[in-house]
């Protein structure tokens, strides 16, 4: 399960955004001020909750870090290119599985934002992720292989512009059909909080 610490971070960011939305209504931020290049970093937790089904001594989550660059075309649309490290998504040691998996993904996505005030908004993301797995160990005595594929991924979250050039975001992401060490697939979900600079 996602850790309470990560949930607390995301909840705190969302609460700050809601509390400050009334203040933000007094700020005049033109649409032109919300154009420009983006660079950001997010930290959270990734989990493949089916990876450990019917496996003892198994862990299927880890700290995840994301970095992204992009361009915001207007207050509603932006595009982003990023890299996500999922950490160690699978680590097991039982009669059948003695293996581990680290994973990462390069991503390209379109982001649509619905402003709820001059500074607070909600957004959705759709894109493609090229994931790579670094597998080691054995399954029923057979060595495991690495895997590389391109799959869809999605996201949804909230954002708050602290200034015209600095914003904070909290986001849930879903990466589809990532292969476990034995080839079984599961969706990897991540919960992130971070900061983005616009210039």
| pLDDT tens-place string over residues 11-70 | 545 544 544 544 444 444 455 567 899 999 999 999 997 888 888 888 999 999 999 999
pLDDT at 114 over 60: yes
Distance CA 40, CA 172 (A): 16
Whole-number Cα distances in Å, 61 to 20, 23, 52, 128:
33, 38, 10, 22
Angle of CA points 153, 157, 160, to nearest 5°: 140
CATH number of 4-27+36-198: 2.40.160.20
34: left (phi over 0), alpha (psi -120 to 50) or beta: alpha
Q: Are 88 and 51 in contact, with CB atoms under 8 Å apart?
A: no
> Torsion angle, CA of 112/116/122/123, rounded to 10 degrees?
0
Considering the entire predicted model, what is its pTM? 0.79
Number of neighbours of residue 26 by Cβ within 10 angstroms: 8
User: What is the reported pLDDT for 172?
Assistant: 98
pLDDT at 6 over 70: no
DSSP letter at 55 equals -
Residue 85 pLDDT level (bands cut at 50, 70, 90): very high
Give the start-end residues of each E strand in the chain. 36-47, 58-59, 61-72, 77-93, 97-115, 120-139, 142-143, 147-161, 166-179, 185-198
User: What is the reported pLDDT for 64?
Assistant: 97
């Amino acid at each position: 399960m996602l850790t309470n610490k990560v949930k607390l971070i995301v909840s705190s960011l969302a609460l700050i955004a809601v509390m400050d939305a009334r203040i933000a209504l007094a700020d005049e931020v033109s649409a032109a001020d919300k154009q420009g290049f983006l660079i950001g970093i997010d930290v959270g937790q990734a989990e493949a909750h089916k990876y450990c089904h019917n496996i003892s001594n198994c862990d299927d989550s880890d700290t995840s870090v994301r970095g992204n660059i992009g361009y915001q075309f207007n207050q509603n649309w932006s595009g982003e290119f990023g890299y996500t490290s999922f950490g160690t998504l699978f680590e097991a040691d039982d009669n059948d599985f003695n293996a581990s998996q680290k994973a990462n993904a390069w991503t390209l996505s379109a982001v649509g934002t619905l402003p709820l005030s001059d500074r607070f908004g909600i957004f959705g993301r759709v894109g493609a992720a090229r994931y790579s797995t670094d597998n080691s160990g054995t399954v029923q005595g057979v060595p495991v292989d690495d895997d590389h594929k391109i799959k869809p991924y999605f996201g949804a979250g909230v954002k708050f512009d602290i200034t015209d050039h600095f914003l904070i975001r909290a986001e849930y992401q879903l990466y589809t059909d990532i292969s476990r060490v034995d080839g079984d697939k599961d969706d990897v979900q991540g919960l992130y909080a971070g900061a983005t600079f616009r210039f």
